[in-house]
Structure 1
């Protein structure tokens, strides 16, 4: 797998996945790397692109406005990556608020790309469950189940191309 981090240029690929979900300004566990490590053990996924929004050089002092070039670049990178991805893995940790992740769920609910795990205890789990059911979005009970399902879907996509 090849990981693309912001602000790297997004290039079209045969198969790609975007890792959406809880980051909490960098304070959450690095579940993105956990997924990448697991997927890297799959030989058939060598050419899959992973769009990981967890920016190594994120600066918490950036003003979150459209006028701030770095912030605008990050948000646009994420939106471009989700639009280009074949699969959007969305993970919501139980102890997070994840307002941007919820917005991303709404933006891409009709895309057919989302695969979601919203842990028990998440403050808006009921809302997430209803949106997923209403839109026919596959949901998983644990991060490990989500990872297994996403890897299986990526393998099928690789085989079909």
Structure 2
């Protein structure tokens, strides 16, 4: 069998059984797709990938991620949401705990592949993991940050944001508007 025939047969078989179908899509989708941990992270498909980082507090913080998801559902983006419905706060936060490791590795990889990192640090939270993630990506140019008055380390966050020229906004609506501006999309609500 010639190399070209082999490649065509391989592509046909892979397409038939669903392997690599994301990479074979002809054009990017025009609306958002939400990928929630621990779902597999998607291959690049031409749409920007937006990580919804910030306060979760083991599920105790308000689900602000759903506000963002609803507001930009018509934008051509892939939303990477670390908040999982099946999270068990009783899981030991240990590298030896497979579910905990799976979550942390998902978040680290999602942050790395994200084109935009949305970060909301809620006043009623400590959010040490989010602070670490902010520090890891402060110099990336990818972060849009909302840290309202009342967050326990707001001064540190504001100075760090100023030092690294991180885009800061003053509300959840500001986060939504900033994401829309970076994506170049409007839902008509602007």
Q: Structure 1-normalised TM-score?
A: 0.91
1:21 alignment partner, one of 50, 54, 57: 54
Aligned to 2:64: 31
Aligned length: 152
Task: Give yes or no for the alignment of 1:57 onto 2:86.
Answer: yes
Aligned to 1:128: 157
**Residue 5 (structure 1) shift:** 0.8
Computing the radius of gyration over CA atoms, which structure comes out larger, 1 or 2? Answer: 2
1:71 alignment partner, one of 80, 88, 100: 100
Runs of 5+ consecutive residues of structure 1 not aligned to the other structure: 157-161
For CA contacts below 8 A with separation 6 or more, give which structure has more relative contact order: 1
Task: Give yes or no for the alignment of 1:93 onto 2:122.
Answer: yes
Q: Structure 2-normalised TM-score?
A: 0.77
2:179 alignment partner, one of 115, 125, 150: 150
Runs of 5+ consecutive residues of structure 2 not aligned to the other structure: 1-31, 186-190
**Residue 12 (structure 1) shift:** 2.4
Q: CA-atom RMSD, angstroms?
A: 1.1
